[in-house]
């Protein structure tokens, strides 16, 4: 975002983003199939004895769901001439960003509360929430916002309202909102008393 604010002053940030985006697209993604469709997720590296490696079972996190919005924002502000030098285009960034947004949306839809977990393992036909709590993170909704602003597709408004409604219904307390302990339980597994 600093590159957008001042491309001259923060030009290195723009180039760094392009290198990181290409690397992430090529090395840090995985898919899972649900009801006959593939969904894309951003994974993470783990430090092994020989350096950084992908875990045997790719892991994704709620925080990684900012990436969809980041790719979409980049698709709208970076020019294709510069992107081509890095093997990218605004269309490839947009398409990939939308895939990530849809995957993160599905991380919510697939849970019993309709809210996504803090972290999950991506398996061929499922996602397994190994950190099943929800601590009121905004990343998925932020990326859906970018998807709507970039495409104008009202489907993203519907997704946003659906997820927002689920969050309000499961996290509202008498004096605000609280994180919940298990998004894959109908009752949310109780609150964690943190806002």
Q: Give the catalytic positions in this structure.
A: 118
Q: Is 46 helix (H, G, I), strand (E, B) or coil?
A: strand
All residues at 6 or more sequence positions from 122 whose CB lies less than 8 Å from its CB, including other chains: 30, 31, 32, 41, 43, 57, 58, 59, 60
Residue from 111, 112, 131 nearest 61 by CA: 131
Residue from 120, 118, 112 nearest 39 by CA: 120
Query: How do strand 59-61 and strand 119-123 relate by DSSP bridges?
Result: antiparallel
């Amino acid at each position: 975002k600093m590159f957008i604010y001042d491309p001259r002053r923060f030009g290195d940030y723009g180039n760094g983003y392009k290198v990181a985006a290409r690397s992430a697209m090529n090395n840090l993604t995985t898919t899972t199939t649900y009801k006959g469709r593939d969904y894309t997720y951003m994974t993470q590296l783990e430090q092994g004895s020989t350096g950084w490696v992908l875990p045997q079972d790719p892991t994704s996190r709620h925080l990684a769901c900012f990436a969809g919005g980041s790719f979409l924002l980049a698709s709208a502000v970076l020019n294709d001439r510069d992107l081509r030098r890095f093997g990218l285009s605004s269309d490839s960034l947009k398409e990939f960003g939308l895939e990530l947004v849809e995957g993160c949306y599905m991380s919510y839809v697939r849970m019993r509360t309709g809210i996504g977990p803090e972290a999950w393992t991506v398996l061929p036909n499922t996602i397994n929430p190994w950190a099943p709590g929800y601590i009121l993170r905004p990343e998925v909704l932020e990326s859906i916002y970018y998807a709507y602003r970039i495409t104008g597709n009202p489907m993203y408004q519907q997704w946003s309202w659906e997820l927002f409604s689920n969050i309000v219904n499961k996290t509202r307390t008498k004096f605000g909102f609280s994180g919940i302990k298990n998004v894959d339980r109908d009752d949310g597994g109780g609150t964690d008393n943190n806002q």
